[in-house]
Amino acid sequence: MAADYSTARRRAVIVFVAALAGVLLTGRLGLWQLDRAAQKQALQTLLETRATLPELAPGALARTAADAEAQHQRRIRVTGEWLPSGTVFLENRQMHGQPGFFVVTPLKLPGSDEAVLVQRGWAPRDLLDRQKVPDVPTPAGPVEVLAQVAPPPGRLYDFAGGAASGPLRQNVDVEAMSIELRTPLRPLSLVQLDESPAARGDGLKRDWPAPAVDIQKHHGYAFQWFALCALIAGLYVWFQLVRPRLARRAA
């Protein structure tokens, strides 16, 4: 009898500890997701504020990755010359749910041997010939580009792996591209806007998405963790407290 009581008590302690650990863990994960959402909301507000600031002077364009991060979303107007041999078409980029390419061309900066990658716009894919790239006009001579400073083009998982080459690519790496072109590239990119003089007549779309901060995703995850927390607590209360008491009353 005493042994049965000891075993039942030990089992009750184990269940309590497990339930408490589950409640604390899932509650903490829910709070962490809310904290992540708050951080990303602050980042979104910062980026939106930067977009309203006066245009950045061309000479102030960042030369280091650390400086570039502080300029993201700032508008800038740069005059330079396209380097058409460096144009790449980034695959599997969608706009309004339609598959296509992001067209990226280096722009040689005036009075310098450096260049910066410009995300010029989006073009649809030829569904009959996946290897065909669109014919995008790339005029010679000076062009004026109105754009927003941004990180280098976002990377997608590359199933092929290895070094990219040719105009049709999954991703573009700034350092590798710099070596390939034998031209120093700034550690950022410019996302060309529709109002840009260099965009006229190129046939590209520029309905660029806002920076992906996924705030709602974190709220959804937080709700799931809190729901699981409540479920664990509710099951413990029902099976360990309420149900045994009801059983004793019925007996």
Give yes or no: residues 83 and 166 share one domain: yes
Q: Which amino acid is at 146?
A: L
Would 174 be classed as within a structural domain? yes
Give yes or no: residues 79 and 155 share one domain: yes
Please state the domain count of the chain.
Answer: 2
Residues 6+ apart with CB under 8 A from 165: 180
* pLDDT given at position 143: 96
Give yes or no: residues 175 and 110 share one domain: yes
* pLDDT given at position 232: 95
* pLDDT given at position 157: 66
* pLDDT given at position 164: 61
pTM score: 0.73
* pLDDT given at position 161: 52
* pLDDT given at position 166: 80
Would 179 be classed as within a structural domain? yes
Domain with 107 in it: 74-199
Give yes or no: residues 167 and 127 share one domain: yes
Beta strands in the chain (DSSP E): 75-82, 88-95, 98-108, 115-124, 142-150, 168-169, 185-192
The DSSP symbol for 242 reads I
* pLDDT given at position 2: 58
Taking CA atoms, 167 is separated from 106, 132, 229, in Å, by 13, 10, 51
pLDDT tens, residue order, the chain (251 aa): 556 667 778 888 999 999 999 999 999 999 999 998 888 888 788 778 888 889 999 999 999 988 998 999 999 999 999 999 999 999 989 888 899 999 999 999 998 899 999 999 999 988 778 788 888 999 999 999 999 999 998 777 665 554 566 889 989 999 999 999 999 999 999 999 999 999 998 999 999 877 666 788 899 999 999 999 999 999 999 998 888 888 888 76
Give yes or no: residues 39 and 12 share one domain: yes
Q: How many CB atoms lie within 10 A of CB 192?
A: 24
Would 111 be classed as within a structural domain? yes
| Nearest Cα to Cα of residue 115 among 87, 156, 73, 136 | 87
Give yes or no: residues 218 and 192 share one domain: no
Would 59 be classed as within a structural domain? no
